[in-house]
Structure 1
Amino acid sequence: MSPITASPIADLSSAAASGQRLLHWQIAPYLVQSNHSYLVTLLLHSSLNAKQVFLRAEPDNEEYLLPMTLTSAGAGDWLSYQAELPLNPAEPTTVYCFKVVTEDNQLWLDAAGESPHMPMREQSFKIVVGIAPPAWVPQQVFYQVFVERFNNGDPTCDMAKGAYQVRHQGPVKAKPWGEPIDGDNPNTEFYGGDLVGVKNKLDYLQSLGVTALYLNPVFTSPSVHKYDIEDYENVDLNFGGNQALAALTDDMHQRGMKILLDAVFNHCSDTHPWFNRWGTQDSIGAYQGKHSPYYDYFTFMDPNNPDSEFCWQGSKVIPVLNLGHPELKAYFFDAPGAITRRWMQPPYNVDGWRVDVIHMMGEGPHADNNAKVLGQMRQAIKETNPEGYFLGEHFFENTRWTQGELEDGAMNYYGFALPLRAFLAKQDVNYHPHQLSAEQFDAWLRQTRSRTPYATQLCQLNLLDTHDTARFFTLLNEDEGLMKLAAVLLMTYPGVPCIYYGDETGMVGGNDPYNRACFDWDEAHWNHSLWQHYQQMIALRQQTPALQAGAYHTLYAEGDGFVFARFDAEQCCVIAINRSVDRPLTMALTADFMAALSKAGQWSLLVGEGINKDGVITLPATGFAVWDLS
């Protein structure tokens, strides 16, 4: 083992503001791969008076306490210890933590922080060997497009008034762009948004700084939202058909942009030929009885009652598919031309899938053998494109699926959107009152980070809102200052950011369907201050590798104030926010921290209005600042 020398990163990380005496991050130079092991570095504060320092590993599921070697005095009062971490050859995941023995006690460090006792395995640092999420993902800024409401690029493919009946909801309506949504029958109202319209606005998206798109479902469906698919093999003609998707993806790839499609494989429409509830398809669907060739594609609670099919959360219009059926497996995953594979191949070449209600997919009802089904979908994606992005939708805690072997990342509601909602909007996902202090906010974030390998954390899709939630600006009562704080955190916290269409212009809207209004392309109606803020923060992220793939460390979390660092071997950024809407805030990062900063270079303000003087940060009300300490 060769010793490492003190670096600006080590200096900065003497962030005694967090009160930690043991520090480790899963980036170089603190974690460096070498053949069949990793060189692991721990920083230890000399005030701890350590007698023994161990790296705890489980290469064969048994405890090994590996003595660590003091390699340098480090920066300031910090000592650097190293050891070789052996990998677990029996499984992809290797776990480890640290144990420090003093004269009369001990202290442990895992991914959740320090502990006076041996930590739980699920909170250990994790390395997943041989399975890595796509390298391109952390570099992106995603933009979610609800296609029907984004832009009308080809009026010739618009829905005709009364073209068909949407089940019992009545005939479809063709409405002028921007007319208010009718909350009584929102799924029958078509405004004309299409894929040609998305393609026509790529210049706009790039001017904002967007590099990747996530599209809500585009396949043939009777509804506006298209989560009730009746034909997986064709893009809806009202969106421009297959040729429009091919033209869009080709243009995007020529521009260096990426694109995800929405995979709705857990359920289909009751108008799909496989089910054919309404008799509108030329098929003998499962609804017609047991003699249907598709009967076993679904699960009926009462074989003698066709209306007893198992549905997604009881919604009769979207019966759940039995993905244990060999024909469905072949159709979606296994066959060379399976749906998952087909749209990732020419002429479309999409870069991955966002999978709807991924935790509910299974063999039969109740998500039976969920991991097996997801493994089959992952295999189809990676065989078609090893760098394909496999993204899962989870509204709640998702770490069971984000350990590296299944999803590359998840829509990070639980690990970002929900704690941020409680911290800034003071409510939970059910719109109940929920207020968090900065300490509680930091604890929630730390808890979720500790349970996921860091490479996966960097590929979690962070978001403020989506088509399934009220717009965040509305939740904030249109407080521009708080919305800007949210955008700062979206662009700087570990994970890949995703903007819901129109958030950057100040679009408002309550819960579904009012969060799905038409994008207003009249710039006179935009919040230009907010738009420029998004553009500025996106540019900062794209110009700063440390914000894309750097380590994370909380420096201050108290009351309304939250400060953290993102850093790699070359660069360090400090991000600070003040949540208070009516008073400035001063935050001292402690003398030890300032002593380290004196070796890390000068504070250079990149964005915001913060003032730093000898490690004491002052921010105005709803103020923020990002500094470069490189």
Structure 2
Amino acid sequence: MRQNTSSQRASLPFQCFHTCTAPGVDASNAELFVRGVNHSRLKIWIVSFSQNEDVKNPMTYSGSYSGIHRFVAPLNADKSRNLITYYFKIMLSNKDGEPVDVVWYSSLGMSREPPLRQHCYVIELFNTHPQWAMDSVIYQIYPDKFAASSGNFTVDGTKVNTESPVRLKDFEFVNLDETHCGGDLDGVATMLPYIRGLGCDTIYLTPIFKAPSVHKYDTEDYDVVDTHFGGNGALKRLRTVALGYEMKILLHGTFNHTGDSNLWFDRQEKTGKGALRHKDSPYREIYTFNSEGEAYVSDDKANYPKLDYSSYLTRHLIYEGENSVVKKWTRAPYGIDGWVIDDANQIGDNGNARNNVERLSAICSSARESHLDCLMLGHFGTDPRYALCSEGNVDGTINYTGFISPIRSFFGGINLNGDPTPYTGEDLRRTCEEFAVGVSQQLKLCLVNQLDNNSLPRFYDIIGGDKHLYQAALACLVTWRGIPCIYQGDELGDVIAKYEVGPRSMIPFKALKDHHASVNSAETQTVITELTALRRSNPAFSRGTMIFISAGGAYFAYMRLYKDRFSIVLVNASRQQVKFEQGSILFPLLASMYMPEDCGSDNAEDSGEDLLIPLSGRNVRRYDHAEGLEGLYEMLGREKLAVYSYGATRTSKEFEEKFIKELIAGKNMTIPPRSTVIVSNLKK
């Protein structure tokens, strides 16, 4: 009989917690923690997949502590796949042992039916991603406007001093987006000590190959670094300097299309052999043409003819050949450390995205043949999970869906298209959680998070130039799951608004290097340096799982967990302090950190059965006061904790003592206005 949705059993008398990685879980065993009901009333199975069939194995009760019960089971992996996919089935019995309720538990919480496979937990049997990547902090560079080896930019023959910010009004009759300003790779090399000083150990260059435009997305020759940037020799020199500072280099690869000036296409008829005007051209098969002889293009831009990967010649030139684009630049003497693949979702056959996953995977495999430890990232215009969840494909992506879009909407109220988007903390939590569902934990750590990049309006501008919110957002960026990426000029602070510094504006690199662009800029540089140092001091930030613990109108909070290290991050974007009941929001932390391995049986009565958890399993009702967790909060109080605050409230000894006292009391938590508070346990 169909169960009415208004059934009195709409809620369940227990709460579950599972994560793929905390504390330090390997791919051989799974642990599920349960509280709110006696363990004797539970029967739990872990359901995994073998040859695309679900296989159910019972979990074993292994002990209780302070009302928390632990169940364990081996993960029976399908040896033909690296990705292990699984969920849990939970049966609740009455005191007489008769089944009274059955639910399923997955990444989306509890449900009344088995979850869809894309909603399951996912872990990789072997971590195939570069280990250096998840520990890195990236600095993205738009070379023409970043730094010039001459010491000055040059605009229409006029030298531009970079010892102070550049005023746009001085160039009101010049389109700087179409004017080369003298930034080059040797200039980038001179700035590496500064970038390293910020705490960034990887640079990511937007396109640098020969092209007629300033932005270089219309590649004319993949074998040549544009002469405006110093040619191939400049990249060699940059590589040498970067090695001295133990820094990595990522390049942006426009492998979906070329420019129409590329000699393969040759709209300008420089060779008389271009594919556009000569049907007998040796390069004709590289592109796709319709019956009228018009080439298929990317992004509706006539000067972006789309490459056709059904052609052997295209594959040979781009990634299969020994001297192909992908392999050439990953080998010595250039030895770059990875690619960001432009328009990754569009790459395919016959003028469209047919066989997209196969082609992306082949590009990645080719790069790894030349450089085993290279990082392969995708730049996707749509949901990238179809590729991320494909074995042997990209290691990660520029994280628009899971960070950039929701974080800009939350702090600035404007989405990526510039539309007004009032966004609550709950909206952000929902968006980010749903994006993470079905993606392996190891891959989540390779997603690249940004506040800004070369194609978006400055984050500082969309938040109305609020210096405090800016620092609060920077703290989110560096503590979020994935790889933080600073875009050039992010550290300018109030200079961005005062001097109208856009995403492709000239950067006052000498002023940055000397920390005197402005007082607020120097403070922002200090904040970034502190945050990157904090990130490296606690592996929970770079390798741990991420769990949202609270969210509301203008605030949200999450925790990071890894082995015996953790951090709690609380964000408040409003102008008033936010106070909320802790309840059992720290249940995941307390269960995974303080439940001893040798804990015994807990045969107490079911005192927790008045703890009703909504079926989603995500949020705890307000009358859940975390009864039974007092002992665990006491153990939390024995930790050596450090508290940091960025925004309107800055770190102080008084604030730290007050916050820690409130935290270990287990009752209320307070987030000061326009601030991000970070509490981390220190290494024992």
Normalising by structure 1, we get a TM-score of 0.89
Residue from 464, 471, 474 that aligns with 2:451: 464
- Deviation for aligned residue 1:435: 1.6
Matches within 5 A, 1:382-531: 382-403=368-389, 404-506=391-493, 508=496, 514-521=502-509, 522=511, 523-526=515-518, 527-531=521-525
Q: Is the 1:449–1:457 Cα contact (8 Å) retained in structure 2?
A: yes
Cα distance change, pair 290–184 in 1 and its aligned pair in 2 (3 A): farther
Cα distance change, pair 485–147 in 1 and its aligned pair in 2 (3 A): same
- Deviation for aligned residue 1:51: 2.6
Q: In terms of mean alpha carbon deviation, does 601-610 or 211-220 score higher?
A: 601-610
CA distance in 2 between partners of 1:183 and 1:212 (Å): 36
CA distance in 1 between partners of 2:180 and 2:556 (Å): 43
CA distance in 1 between partners of 2:174 and 2:101 (Å): 65
**Where does residue 569 of structure 1 map in the other structure?**
563
- Give per-residue Cα distances to partners, 1:197-253, cap 9 Å, x unaligned: 100001100111111011001111111100011010011111111111011112212
RMSD of aligned alpha carbons: 2.4
CA distance in 2 between partners of 1:28 and 1:464 (Å): 27
Identity percentage of aligned residues: 25
Is the partner of 2:366 in helix, strand or coil? helix
- Give per-residue Cα distances to partners, 1:433-472, cap 9 Å, x unaligned: 1122212211111111112111000000111121111111
**Where does residue 128 of structure 1 map in the other structure?**
124
Paired residue type of 2:566: C
CA distance in 1 between partners of 2:630 and 2:173 (Å): 56
Is the partner of 2:503 in helix, strand or coil? helix
* 1:264 counterpart = 2:254: yes
Residue from 226, 239, 244 that aligns with 2:229: 239
Is the partner of 2:471 in helix, strand or coil? helix
- Give per-residue Cα distances to partners, 1:62-83, cap 9 Å, x unaligned: 222211101121x321111111
CA distance in 2 between partners of 1:136 and 1:51 (Å): 42
- Deviation for aligned residue 1:182: 5.8
* 1:102 counterpart = 2:89: no
Paired residue type of 1:598: E
- Deviation for aligned residue 1:106: 2.1
* 1:216 counterpart = 2:206: yes
- Deviation for aligned residue 1:302: 3.4
* 1:142 counterpart = 2:138: yes
**Where does residue 359 of structure 1 map in the other structure?**
345
**Where does residue 252 of structure 1 map in the other structure?**
242
Residue from 607, 624, 627 that aligns with 2:679: 627
- Deviation for aligned residue 1:267: 0.8
- Give per-residue Cα distances to partners, 1:531-571, cap 9 Å, x unaligned: 22111111110111111001222222122221211121121
**Where does residue 594 of structure 2 map in the other structure?**
none
Paired residue type of 1:538: T
Q: Is the 2:155–2:179 Cα contact (8 Å) retained in structure 1?
A: no
**Where does residue 14 of structure 1 map in the other structure?**
none
- Give per-residue Cα distances to partners, 1:34-66, cap 9 Å, x unaligned: xxxx11111111426543111111223222221
* 1:370 counterpart = 2:327: no
Residue from 305, 311, 329 that aligns with 1:343: 329
Is the partner of 1:583 in helix, strand or coil? coil
Residue from 142, 148, 153 that aligns with 2:149: 153
- Deviation for aligned residue 1:596: 2.7
Paired residue type of 1:379: S
**Where does residue 599 of structure 1 map in the other structure?**
635
CA distance in 2 between partners of 1:565 and 1:364 (Å): 46
Q: Is the 1:470–1:509 Cα contact (8 Å) retained in structure 2?
A: no
Residue from 534, 539, 547 that aligns with 1:545: 539
Cα distance change, pair 509–517 in 1 and its aligned pair in 2 (3 A): farther
- Deviation for aligned residue 1:159: 8.1
CA distance in 2 between partners of 1:626 and 1:187 (Å): 39
**Where does residue 579 of structure 1 map in the other structure?**
573
- Give per-residue Cα distances to partners, 1:169-210, cap 9 Å, x unaligned: xxxx87746463669844431110000010000110011111
Cα distance change, pair 28–515 in 1 and its aligned pair in 2 (3 A): closer
Is the partner of 2:26 in helix, strand or coil? strand
CA distance in 1 between partners of 2:173 and 2:129 (Å): 40
CA distance in 2 between partners of 1:549 and 1:101 (Å): 33
Q: Is the 1:56–1:97 Cα contact (8 Å) retained in structure 2?
A: yes
- Give per-residue Cα distances to partners, 1:341-389, cap 9 Å, x unaligned: 1101111110010000011011221112111211210111111122110
Q: In terms of mean alpha carbon deviation, does 516-525 or 376-385 score higher?
A: 516-525
Q: Is the 1:509–1:515 Cα contact (8 Å) retained in structure 2?
A: no
Q: Is the 2:211–2:220 Cα contact (8 Å) retained in structure 1?
A: yes
**Where does residue 582 of structure 2 map in the other structure?**
589
Matches within 5 A, 1:77-88: 77-88=67-78
Is the partner of 1:40 in helix, strand or coil? strand
Cα distance change, pair 578–128 in 1 and its aligned pair in 2 (3 A): same
Is the partner of 1:556 in helix, strand or coil? strand
- Give per-residue Cα distances to partners, 1:88-108, cap 9 Å, x unaligned: 134332210111100211232
- Deviation for aligned residue 1:598: 1.9
Matches within 5 A, 1:223-234: 223-234=213-224
Is the partner of 2:53 in helix, strand or coil? coil
Which structure 1 segments of 5+ residues have no match?
1-18, 162-172
Paired residue type of 1:588: E
Q: Is the 2:559–2:566 Cα contact (8 Å) retained in structure 1?
A: yes
CA distance in 2 between partners of 1:573 and 1:130 (Å): 26
Q: Is the 1:46–1:79 Cα contact (8 Å) retained in structure 2?
A: no
CA distance in 2 between partners of 1:160 and 1:584 (Å): 48
Cα distance change, pair 525–40 in 1 and its aligned pair in 2 (3 A): same
CA distance in 2 between partners of 1:237 and 1:271 (Å): 16
CA distance in 1 between partners of 2:497 and 2:505 (Å): 8
CA distance in 2 between partners of 1:394 and 1:381 (Å): 19
CA distance in 2 between partners of 1:325 and 1:588 (Å): 61
Is the partner of 1:456 in helix, strand or coil? helix
Cα distance change, pair 461–543 in 1 and its aligned pair in 2 (3 A): same
Q: In terms of mean alpha carbon deviation, does 294-303 or 142-151 score higher?
A: 294-303
Paired residue type of 2:420: P
**Where does residue 15 of structure 1 map in the other structure?**
none
Q: Is the 2:329–2:335 Cα contact (8 Å) retained in structure 1?
A: yes
- Give per-residue Cα distances to partners, 1:275-320, cap 9 Å, x unaligned: 11123x33421222213222222222234x4xx2211122111111
CA distance in 2 between partners of 1:549 and 1:264 (Å): 30
Paired residue type of 1:66: N
- Deviation for aligned residue 1:585: 1.6
